[in-house]
Structure 1
């Protein structure tokens, strides 16, 4: 089951989609901006890249709220761990979580790293980054810093350290392999403050034949971080694929619903 299908079900989309704009030459394939409604009738705008949903925003009064459930889980983790201060977002897409963090956490500063300049352009044009700047002056005040760069290159060259690093880089519908490699994980750990958290969304079952994505990542995380937790995004059956937020840290955060990675036996 794909990330798009999982998000589709979680959003409860019932309305047909209207194409707002098409961009045939994105860095990772054709791009479409789509409007639809969720199950409650709330208008939603989707950023689709090469057939995969990469980002979303509510429209109207919900323009700075989070449409994807795993983004809401990201925020729950950061709030619970008091890690909303200095955040690095790898893979900006349409800047859904950075926009939310700036609007809802006055203490937050967010670095956004996005390799495709078209994504940043669309965040301003179609996903309300312009409205965020008008209301919060986030760039002008240094609270929002946009970097058009490769995520791994940014990790190699920055000297910043963060309360949280969120990995939202996808190739098709899988986490970018280069950011799960040993070098990348070592760089991530080096860029975190002592209490810092590394979060990544992984579409996987918790057990059985569809658990391979988690089974491949968790041992690598466990070799480098003292604590590795998995927060299922809502699957009722452990052998069915779903979104799972993996949290890696050297701290010991208390997170409701978290599963210790070692207890999963993957």
Structure 2
């Protein structure tokens, strides 16, 4: 049983870290700054727990007291996990307010201090207590510690795999961690003294029953963090996402939005009724409306690639306005596709192929017998402000260039600024893009100051045919107006784009999070 306790304690530590970061993503995002705050708190808790566990183990006068101490740490960790995570969303909402003034790292760390720190201390204390129970003499102490450490490492591996692959996608983040807490409470019972096991079992059963009842009736949810109605809180293998209906009256059209990041919307649709099939595919965001300008450049494409599906509104829209084109959609998360089907009535058109893969991996293999693309849209984000860095490097753009047909165009949206502290991000993306694409056009779609954080649409070609198509479509006015929305794209000259501090991003060095930090500090 000692080995079982070590195994489960270390599995629970990894589960805590994974679920902690995952559950806080809609509030703080998933940047390195956020993870740094979360991991710092967990590691600090582990350091204290290992030290405290060793001290208390040395003070125990016999093995029975050590086993009682082990029962207290396991049961205490389970209680700490189960009770704190019932109100996790409430504390996360408070943490977001702190993050606005003190930064993402501080905000995430303060929430982790409540959710992860107490349990981390108690779970870490299990290993030194268990080692003291198992060590019988100095002669075999090293082999005992080595064996227990190996079991702890195997537990960590099992915890990470089971949590990430099985529990989160099928059970949910909060439910998984509360279940782990209850399991730790049950595991503590056999380590108590024989005379007290019945009493402890009764108390734990009563506690677990009260906990479940309280969770069902009073547990906090993410509803307080959104404006509108929280329709669903979904965990998939890659995301925690909220489906939100904007405030509306009965009978009115309204927006249904998907959120996986703080204070932002990843995708959405105009709902013309309450059924999922009432979702309209017409773009609702200015930048996706602006994407349609590429059909002025290439009116009848034969083969289109869209990296990023989300709720599949834009792929559906593209299938409607380019009915003769074959459309390949690359979406990393199969859960996103299931969400689109469940909440937005998505049905794959006959001309559309869906690939559940990382966009960069797909590009790496795009030249292997696949037909080249006339248009490539990049509409994937790992936060509201940045496309995944692996799609924005010199090597990625080179793969992208090889995936294009003669005269092909790549289109994507950058959230950035033309001037000011955040401008090196745009400058770096453009500098990197120009290493593989000979002609790059940049458009602003909103009449705001150049230093304002805004949507910036980029179109690029890698050959003379593409350059001529772009130049002809834009014309001498440098303005593309889409009257059906209406949206106006205004061409930006190189002189108006600040290139100071710009980098060429590579797979080896792409400090996207550092470049976008000034943008995240503003309200977008």
Report the TM-score when normalising by structure 2.
0.44
Matches of residues 1-266 of structure 1 in structure 2 within 5 Å? 16-28=227-239, 30-36=240-246, 42-51=253-262, 52-60=264-272, 63-82=280-299, 84-130=301-347, 133=348, 138-139=349-350, 143-158=351-366, 159-173=370-384, 174-250=386-462, 251-252=466-467, 253=470, 254-255=473-474, 256=479, 257-261=490-494, 264-266=497-499
Cα RMSD of the aligned pairs, angstroms, is: 2.4
- Counterparts in 2 of 1:103 and 1:82: CA distance versus 1, 3 Å: closer
State the SS of the aligned residue for 2:450: coil
Is the 8 Å Cα contact of residues 203 and 213 (structure 1) preserved in structure 2? no
**How far apart are residue 183 of structure 1 and its match?**
1.3
**3-state SS of the aligned residue for 2:292?**
helix
Residues 412 and 457, structure 2, Cα contact 8 Å, conserved in 1: yes
Structure with more helix by fraction: 2
The CA distance in 2 between the partners of 1:261 and 1:59, in whole Å, is 40
- Partners of 2:378 and 2:456 in 1: how far apart? 13
State the secondary structure of the residue aligned to 2:375: strand
Distance 1:42 1:211, change over 3 A: farther
- SS state of the match for residue 183, structure 1? helix
Cα deviation code 1:139-196 (max 9, x no counterpart): 3xxx100001111111122323101111112112211100011111001000011211
With normalisation by structure 1, the TM-score equals 0.83
Q: Distance in 2 between matches of 1:18 and 1:196?
A: 42
Unaligned runs of 5+ in 2: 1-27, 29-225, 273-277, 480-489, 500-524
- When residues 121 and 179 of structure 1 are mapped into structure 2, their CA distance, relative to the original with a 3 A threshold, is same
Q: Deviations over 1:87-139 (max 9, x none)?
A: 10111111121110112222232110011111111111112313xx5xxxx23
**Taking CA–CA contacts closer than 8 Å with sequence separation of 6 or more, which of the two structures ends up with the larger relative contact order?**
1
What is the SS of the residue equivalent to 2:246?
A: strand
Change over 3 Å in CA distance of 1:171–1:226 after alignment to 2: same
Paired residues in the alignment total 242
